[in-house]
Amino acid sequence: MSSSVKTVVRAYQNYINGQWVKSSSGEMFPVYDPSTEEVIAHVASGTAADVDHAVKAARAAFDTDRWPRTSAAERGRILYRLAEKIRANAARLAELECRNSGKPIVEAEYDIADAATCFEYYAGLANKVLGHVNPVPANALSFTLREPVGVAGQIIPWNYPLVMASWKLAPAIAAGCTCVLKPAEQTPLTMMEVANWFEELGLPPGVVNVVNGLGETAGAALVAHPGVDKIAFTGSAAVGKMIVKSAADTLKRVTLELGGKSPNIFFDGADWEAAVDGALFGVFINQGEVCSAGSRILVEKKIYSKFVEAMTEKAKRIKLGAPLERETKMGPLVSKEQYDRVSSYLEVGKKEAKVAIGGGRPKQFGKGYYVEPTIFYDVDNNARIAREEIFGPVASVIPFEGEPEAPRREVAPRRHRLGQSHATNLRRSAVGRLQAVGLRP
């Protein structure tokens, strides 16, 4: 299939108080197609002043009761309309997500459907937020009343752009909060397209504001702003730590969904096909750019060699290609920065372990941030590639033997909080995705 999206380099501004406004600095930054390395858009580079403008708009929408007094049923209806609009434009959004992030079109289609489903879920939930009456003596009345927190500052990563935005926006809108969302600078485009519809779908000005920009400028200003009541962040553990420190100054509530190095553990006696396919899916879906990627593959010694062999044979058949081609199972990484980061881990891995497959750049691509699906084996559990999040298509296979308790001792010491909604969503999505992306026949 060839793209129906022409290479028109568009410019996107910030969406503040129901208006498209330029950055106060007048600066823009380029956004790329990682498969061609071409610039596909220019986006306003938000400043602290732009963030302040957006927070004041969100504050006004909240403090004047314009939004919290809108009935929960009406907030739900707006969310349903957003979901419908996303579904009606799913093909176009999927194509844009695919071009901007490098993920295969089939996965991008799945993501856009997921984003719509998220808005539908919270649309239904909006008018079902209940409290409790607590048992107290007869001369007293005690109850809990759930109220919106206020202005939510929302910062998201680039690996599932519209899905991440919907996970932040939908619950906040349903609850009656107002929002200032900062997309990842690498992948803002689908969110900007959706912001185009806010007004016609009935979202009052100031309820959702979108400020583009870099993390250290727009993101940091949002976290530090005294007018923000809560920060909801998804991204790296390093930035998460900075956010907690900065947010402490203004005693904001903070929700963090950070990175990980998830173990997948396989014992002798496992359903063979499901185990091998599951291991491949776990680490190679979305080019391995997944916070819960099963990048540490612990395999019981009795089946270890055969398992590595079977994974390797199947990994050879993963089709790398242009993200818009329907047969493509793996596209490029999202950016040059990510390509360099993953490539440097490939060099580390070659010193620390043995390579079963991959380990470099696939030769067939002249351009694009492509990396081969890579399987390292005989990896020591203390190796860097067993402990550090690579966020790319790189598996570390680690043998273990002994009682079923053995791998528990081997599991990396650090765990980061993974939101319940995310965990549930991944479980729900896993089987469908496995089939959709062809990692499972």
Q: Does 107 bind ligand NAD (CB under 6 A)?
A: no
Segment holding 316, helix H or strand E = helix 301-316
Closest CA to 157 of 358, 340, 337, 372: 337
Q: Does 242 bind ligand NAD (CB under 6 A)?
A: yes
Residue count (the chain):
441
Q: Does 235 bind ligand NAD (CB under 6 A)?
A: yes
Distances (CA, A) of 397 to 34, 388, 393, 414: 28, 14, 13, 19
| Least distance in angstroms from the C-beta of 259 to ligand NAD | 3
Q: Nearer Cβ to ligand NAD, position 355 or 426?
A: 426
Q: Does 278 bind ligand NAD (CB under 6 A)?
A: no
Pairing of strands 230-234, 296-300: unpaired
**Phi, psi at 52, each rounded to 5°:** -60, -45
| Least distance in angstroms from the C-beta of 401 to ligand NAD | 30
| Least distance in angstroms from the C-beta of 231 to ligand NAD | 8
Q: Does 129 bind ligand NAD (CB under 6 A)?
A: no
| Least distance in angstroms from the C-beta of 162 to ligand NAD | 13
Reading the block at residue 124, the tokens are 């239904």
Residues β-bridged to residue 133? 143
Q: Specify the stretch interacting with ligand NAD by CB under 6 A; choose among 229-237, 306-314, 315-323, 361-369.
A: 229-237
| Least distance in angstroms from the C-beta of 421 to ligand NAD | 9
Output the 3-class SS for 142-196.
Answer: EECCCCCCCEEEEECCCCCHHHHHHHHHHHHHHHCCEEEEECCCCCCHHHHHHHC
- Which of helix, strand or coil describes residue 210? strand
The only residue of 215, 282, 358, 407 in contact with ligand NAD, by rule CB under 6 A: 215
Cα gap 349→398, rounded to integer Å: 13
The only residue of 15, 62, 110, 158 in contact with ligand NAD, by rule CB under 6 A: 158
Segment 376-435, which members bind ligand NAD (CB under 6 A)?
A: 389, 391, 418, 422
Segment 244-273, which members bind ligand NAD (CB under 6 A)?
A: 257-260
The only residue of 59, 75, 85, 182 in contact with ligand NAD, by rule CB under 6 A: 182
Q: Is 267 exposed, middle or buried (0-12, 13-18, 19+ CB in 10 A)?
A: middle
Q: Which of 107, 120, 193, 257 is catalytic?
A: 257
Block residue for tokens 């910062």: 155
Assess contact for 433 and 312: CB atoms under 8 A: no
Active site residue 291: yes
The only residue of 24, 89, 236, 343 in contact with ligand NAD, by rule CB under 6 A: 236
Q: Which of 97, 291, 352, 372 is catalytic?
A: 291
Q: Specify the stretch interacting with ligand NAD by CB under 6 A; choose among 18-26, 59-67, 132-140, 215-223.
A: 215-223
Active site residue 257: yes
Q: Contact positions toward ligand NAD, by CB under 6 A?
A: 155-159, 182, 184-185, 214-216, 219-220, 223, 234-236, 239, 242-243, 257-260, 291, 389, 391, 418, 422
Show which residues are catalytic: 257, 291
